[in-house]
Structure 1
Amino acid sequence: MPVADINGSQCHYRSDGDPHLPCVVLSNSLGTDLSMWDAQAEALAPHFHVLRYDTRGHGASASPPGPYSMQILGQDVVALLDHLQIAQAHFCGLSMGGVTGQWLGINAPQRLLKLVLANTAGRVGTQEGWSNRAQAVRQDGLDAIAAGAAERWFTPEFIAARPATVAAMLGRLRDQNAEGYAACCDALAISDLRGTIHVIAAPTLIIAGKDDPVTTVADAMQMQQAIFHADVATIDASHLSNIEAELAFTGLLLDFLRAG
């Protein structure tokens, strides 16, 4: 289990594929870990050096005391690339990972080749909503959050058809560090990149789930209008679209990253 001591924390990561190939970094959503990318990593590894990591406060990465911010989460990525001596990489982030990707596009453009922003927005949710969730998790733990997560993450049809997959994802959510999860909620509460994403210069693909109640197709279109070199693709899925629509998502990712 490789762990990098970076940016005042410990970051758990996994590397697949040939390190001499172009690198693609995969960044997890809130309440998940790097295993959410298993299907995409397998498909990408013959063509890329695939680097996955657990966002601080998640998985096997450390959960140092907060406060966290998107700047800290973005600097973690830059520090991990530095640690592994990777000058530039493609980046694909979903939800919170997509906010991290936007931060990198704004603040570390020289490190990016192409950028994929999945099921995310320049402003995800509201400050009050995130602050309330952080407070609830600190008081009552993650069980209460997990109880309603399936309906936010997946469509009713997927929940009925793939109960084992849904149960496994909820189990991972319950296993997260409650304070680390809450600190990431704090970071999302104060993050609003809508006024600055227009400076993103990397070629960008925005993936939206048609049934996503958290980050909508309208959110994707707003990002596309702000980012000059951006295209939008919609797929039949809810919020964790890379899991619910695995083949469609992976196909879009491969086609975009391999083009040109």
Structure 2
Amino acid sequence: MTNSAQTTGKTSIKVNGIDIAYRFDGPENGHVVLLSNSLMSNYAMWDCTIPALTDWYRTLRYDTRGHGGSGTTSGPYSMAQLADDAIGLLDALHIDKVHFIGLSMGGMIGQQLGARFPERVYSLSLCDTASEMPPRNLWEERFATAKQEGIAGLMPGTLKRWFLDDFINSSPAEIEKVRQMILGTGVEGYIACGSAVRDMTHSAMLLKIKAPTLVLTGRQDPACTVDQATVLHRLIEHSEMIIIENAAHLSNIEQPVAFNTAIRGFIDGVEDRL
């Protein structure tokens, strides 16, 4: 492998009428890996993943509409709209094709990209995600809590879904960083994106995905379960599935070594066949 000069930078660009915050890391001549965040987070959720990629790949992470440093417009959003934002970002940055990594909501966006824009992806890594997220009343309860108590009212339940108790107790610095990401999410953006998750019906769409795909999930993920990951694996042709032990929903943060090993091995394998 040969390394070129590394480029690092965070900025924003106008996409579909809003500012999308993004950041590049890694060598300019590497194939681009696009990383898409979960609901109630921002692109800092990938801080543990970036070092495992940037010796060879150029990483591009961004904040989904309504999150982090990106703009918020009136909701509800749809998953198709959020996928159009990802494609709009690639167009604005003159990037033809990427390896895509998305977790939770980010993985739902990735399903749209694989089905609707197959020419734009070398591979898909769909992590701790699902093709449908019922029941509807669960989301209505969460939205009501957000409206009444603010995002802070969702904090205890969110952390319990995202991490195992042992990790919460043993990793206070990581948990505090995640707490700040959650608190940095506006109620309007959360409800607008949460509505896209609530209304998503992707199962039939999965049959259209032909790109090499890795389905990855934490063994103890209560938000997007192993059973839901198995649906993705069964419906996406020639997909691979990896289960990470001792991990809940944000497996990339809870088990970074296992997550990074799986992701890097998969993407490198795809690269070898290009």
Shared fold per TM-score greater than 0.5: yes
Structure 1 stretch displaced more, 18-27 or 123-132: 123-132
1:115-155 Cα offsets, whole Å, 9 max, x none, are: 00000011124222223322321232101101221111001
Is the counterpart of residue 252 in structure 1 residue 262 in structure 2? Answer: yes
Whole-angstrom distance in 2 between the partners of 1:34 and 1:229: 29
Aligned to 1:10: 19
Q: Which residue of 1 aligns with 2:56?
A: 47
Aligned residue type for 1:257: I
Contact 2:206 2:236 in 1 (8 A): yes
1:180 counterpart residue number: 189
Aligned partners of 1:127, 1:102: CA distance in 2, in Å? 21
The reply on whether 1:156 has 2:165 as its aligned counterpart is yes
Counterparts of 1:168 and 1:93, CA distance in 2:
19
Within-5 A mapping of 1:1-260 = 1-236=10-245, 237-259=247-269, 260=272
TM-score in terms of structure 2 length: 0.92
Q: Distance in 1 between matches of 2:18 and 2:120?
A: 21
Output the amino acid matched with 1:241.
S
Q: Which runs of 5+ in 2 are unaligned?
A: 1-9
Which contiguous aligned blocks of 4+ residues in structure 1 show a shift greater than 2 angstroms?
124-128
Distance 1:252 1:122 in 2: 21
Query: How far apart are residue 51 of structure 1 and its match?
Result: 0.2
Rounded Cα–Cα distance in structure 1 between residues aligned with 2:198 and 2:143: 9
Identity among equivalent pairs (%) = 38
The answer to whether the Cα contact below 8 Å between 1:131 and 1:185 also exists between their aligned partners in 2 is: no
Structure 1 length as normaliser, TM-score?
Answer: 0.97
Secondary structure at 2:88 match in 1: helix
Q: Which moved more, 1:126-135 or 1:190-199?
A: 126-135
For the Cα contact (< 8 Å) 1:125–1:214, is it kept in 2?
no
For residue 3 of structure 1, what is the amino acid of its counterpart?
S
Q: Is the 8 A contact 1:30 1:95 kept in 2?
A: yes
Structure 2 distance, partners of 1:135, 1:81, is 35
Letter paired with 1:106: A
Paired residue total:
260
Gaps of 5+ in 1: none
Letter of the structure 2 residue corresponding to residue 144 of structure 1? G
